[in-house]
Structure 1
C-alpha cells in the first residue's frame, strides 16, 4: 500500500506508512522534522510508536550529522534466522528439553558467560578497538561499572526486554531458528555516554532544540569521528553476538533432534543502527530506529510477538521509505500498562501451544501489548514481499 499520511510540521515532510500512530510518536516525528540537518523527508514505518530519543519505526536521513539518541543505546539490535533440514513432524511432542538445553547454553537477562565458556575467538576481533575506545574515553569505564571484561563475557548472550530465541515452523512445515538481540552492555555504554556528550556539546552551541534528545554531532566537530568509530564497533559486535548465539543454539539442540543440516542462508540484519547511504541525490547518515534495510532483493526478518507469526521478506527498494521497512509488530502499549492490564492467565491463554515461560515476569511481552502484525504487513506491501511465514512453537524471552 502507498504512503497513508504526509505531514508538514517542520523543515521537511513526514511520510507515514500507517494510519495507526500514537500521539507520542507523532510528536517525536514532528520534532525531528524541525531540525535543519534532515534531508528530503522522514519516513515512519507501519509499526511506528513512541520511543526514547525518537519514534521507534522512524527512518531519519541527516546531512553531515548524526543524532546519537535517535540511534539509541541498543546499538545494532537486530535479528538472525536460519532454516534447518528438519520438518515439523520430526520435532518431539514435548519441546521442554530443547528449551532447557538452549537456556543452559545461552545466558539471558543480566547473566553472562563465565571465563570457561567465553567466546574467545569472536572477542579477539574486538579487543584492540574496545581497548582503544576505553583509553580515549575513560568515562566509559564508569558507565560500564569499571568491569572492563564484561563485554567479553557477554559475547554470545541474549540480554533482556524483548530479546528472544525461537524455534519456528514455516508454511511448508520446515523448521527455523530465529533470534533477536543487540550489542549488550558495550553498546549500551557507548550509546549512554555519547548521548550525554552530544547534549552537553549542543547546550554550548545551540540555544534551542525541539527536545534535548535531538542533540547531534556535526562532521568536523570534536567528538563526531569518535562517535562514528564507536557506533560502528557496537554494530559489528551486535552482528557477531547474534552469530555466536546461533552457533551455540545449534550445538545445544543437536542431541535432542534427528541429524540435521542448515538449508537456508542465514539472515542477519540490524534494525537499530546508522550508516552512510545515498538517497535523493545526497550521501546521508541514515538512522533506522526500529526499521530494517529493504533494498531491492535484500532479505530481512520481521518478527511478530511471542504468540503470533513472523516473516522472512525480500526488499523492493522503495525510495520513499529510504529502502526500509518495519522491524516488527511494534508496541501498542508500554510495559507498565501491559502489566497493569493483563494477568498471568491472559498470558497462558495467548501463548497456548507454545513452549515458553508463562510467569508474571514476562507479562509485559504478552502478544496483546503489540500491534497486529498482519496489519503491519498489509501496510508495507510496496516495501517488501513475503517469502516465508514463520509460527513459533518455542520461545525463550530475555
Structure 2
C-alpha cells in the first residue's frame, strides 16, 4: 500500500499520511489491500461513524475538521452583490457610509436593511444603518456604546423660571461626565437594574457589576450631553395628555451604558471574529453570533442588560434634576438607538440592528436631537416598512472629529453658540455644531418616517471636556 493508492481515493494533504498509517496497521492485521481501500472509501464518505475509536479514528477526526472548515468558509462567504435597500437623504450621506452598508447587505445572514439621512461612517455597520439578519446578532451592528439612548423630561413651568446661572449650577452639581467618572458613594442613587439576577448569570457580567454600580447615573464623553432648554408644543396631541400647547422648561439627555457596555461589546466582538476567521477583510467588523448558539445567547442577554442599564442612567439623571427643581415632569419620553430587537419583517422574525437609528414603529414616541446649539425634536413613528420602522437618531456628522479640530475655529463656534443663546459647559471643537449636518435638512428628508410633535431648543448644555474646549 502506498500514497498513490490513497490519493486515487481523493485524499489530500495530511489525510494521506493518516490514511497510510491506518492502512499499515490493517495490513499488519492481515487485511487485504482491496478491503483496506474499501474501508478507507467508507471512512471518507462517513467519517462520523469512525470518530469514536479504532485505527481510523484520527483520520475520521481530521476529515470532520476539514468538513467543518469548508462549511465555515461557505457560510462566511459574502454575496456577490448587496441585497437592495432604501436610503433616505442620499444627498446628505458620504460614499463611505454607502460602501459600509453595501458590505453589510452582502453578509449571508442579512435579509433587509435601510440607511437613515444622518448616516456616516462607523465601525462595521455605518452610523445610521439599520440591518435585519436571520438568527444572528452582530455586536458591531449594535455598536460599542450598547443602549446609547435619549430621554426628555418636560416640566410644568416656563423655561424662564430657571435662570442660566441656576441651570448651570444644577448641571455641575447633579451630572458627571467622562471616562471612569462616578458619584461619591454617599451620593450614589440606587436603581432596580442593579438588583437583577442577570448580573450573576455570566462570569463577564459578574466581573463588570462593580464598574456598572459605581458609574450609574453618569455620562460618557464624545457627544453625550445633558441640557436645560425650552420645549415648545405647537398644538395639542391626544398622545401627550395633560400637555397644552406652549413653552416649557425641559431637560434632554444623551447617554449610554458607560464602561460596562463598551467591555461587553469588545468581548463579544472578539468571540464573533474568532467564529468567522474566513470573513473578507472589509466584513470582519460585521462578524456575527448565531442566536441558536451559546455565545449568541450570552451576548443577547448582556446586550439587553446594557440597554436597560443605559436607560437607568437617564432615569437617575432626570430624577436628580427633577428633585433639585422641586418639580414633577408632565411628560417623559425615551428611546434607545444602539440596540438590536426581534422584529417581524415580511412575515418572518428577524434581528433588527439599529446602530444610530431611532425605533419608529407606528405611534411610538422618539427623540431626534440636533447639536449642542441646534434644536431637537419629539417625534412619533409612522412604521415605514422599507425603513424597518426606523428613523435617524440625530443630525449625523459631516466632519469627523479630527477634521473638525483641524478646520473649525474656536471663535466661530463661540459666535454660533452666542447667536443662539447657548451656554456651554465643557464640550470640544470636535462636537461643534458645524461638525454636524443641519438637523432641519435631516428631518425634512424623513417626513415619511416620523411626524414632529414638539421642538426642544438648548439653553445650557453640559458635556465632557473635549481635546480642545470651545
When normalised by structure 2's length, the TM-score is 0.75
Identify the match of residue 108 of structure 2 among 18, 36, 45: 36
1:38-53 paired onto structure 2 within 5 Å: 38-39=110-111, 41-53=112-124
Aligned pairs, how many? 369
Confirm or deny that 1:262 pairs with 2:336.
Answer: no
Confirm or deny that 1:113 pairs with 2:213.
Answer: no
TM superposition shift of 1:88? 2.7
Identify the match of residue 75 of structure 1 among 100, 124, 146: 146
TM superposition shift of 1:14? 2.2
Larger radius of gyration: 2
Identify the match of residue 268 of structure 2 among 158, 171, 194: 194
Confirm or deny that 1:310 pairs with 2:376.
Answer: yes
TM superposition shift of 1:311? 0.3
Residue 84 and residue 339 in structure 1: after superposition, are their counterparts in 2 closer, same or farther (change >3 A)? same
Moved >4 Å (runs of 4+): none
User: Could you tell me which residue of structure 2 aligns to residue 4 of structure 1?
Assistant: none
Identify the match of residue 173 of structure 1 among 247, 261, 265: 247
Identify the match of residue 326 of structure 1 among 392, 407, 411: 392
Q: Is the 8 A contact 2:364 2:381 kept in 1?
A: yes
Q: What is the alpha-carbon distance in structure 1 between the residues aligned to residue 81 and residue 392 of structure 2?
A: 24
Higher helix share: 2
After superposition, give the CA deviation of every residue in 1:137-181 in whole Å (9 maximum; x if it has no partner). 49x95xx6xxx5221011100111100011121333211111000
Identify the match of residue 355 of structure 1 among 404, 418, 423: 423
Q: What is the alpha-carbon distance in structure 2 between the residues aligned to residue 313 and residue 326 of structure 1?
A: 11
When normalised by structure 1's length, the TM-score is 0.88
Which of 97-106 and 240-249 deviates more? 97-106
User: Could you tell me which residue of structure 2 aligns to residue 149 of structure 1?
Assistant: 210
Identify the match of residue 98 of structure 2 among 26, 33, 45: 26
Confirm or deny that 1:271 pairs with 2:337.
Answer: yes
Residue 202 and residue 45 in structure 1: after superposition, are their counterparts in 2 closer, same or farther (change >3 A)? same
Identify the match of residue 100 of structure 1 among 149, 169, 173: 169
Higher relative contact order (CA 8 A, sep 6+): 1
* Structure 1 SS opposite 2:380: strand
TM superposition shift of 1:129? 2.1
Q: What is the alpha-carbon distance in structure 2 between the residues aligned to residue 332 and residue 87 of structure 1?
A: 34
Confirm or deny that 1:230 pairs with 2:326.
Answer: no
* Structure 2 SS opposite 1:174: strand
TM superposition shift of 1:209? 5.9
Q: Is the 8 A contact 1:317 1:324 kept in 2?
A: yes
* Structure 1 SS opposite 2:187: coil
Q: What is the alpha-carbon distance in structure 1 between the residues aligned to residue 275 and residue 403 of structure 2?
A: 35
TM superposition shift of 1:11? 4.1
Gap runs ≥5 in structure 2 = 1-78, 233-245, 465-470
Residue 54 and residue 100 in structure 1: after superposition, are their counterparts in 2 closer, same or farther (change >3 A)? same
Which of 106-115 and 327-336 deviates more? 106-115
Q: Is the 8 A contact 1:279 1:322 kept in 2?
A: yes
TM superposition shift of 1:122? 3.7
Q: What is the alpha-carbon distance in structure 1 between the residues aligned to residue 424 and residue 309 of structure 2?
A: 28
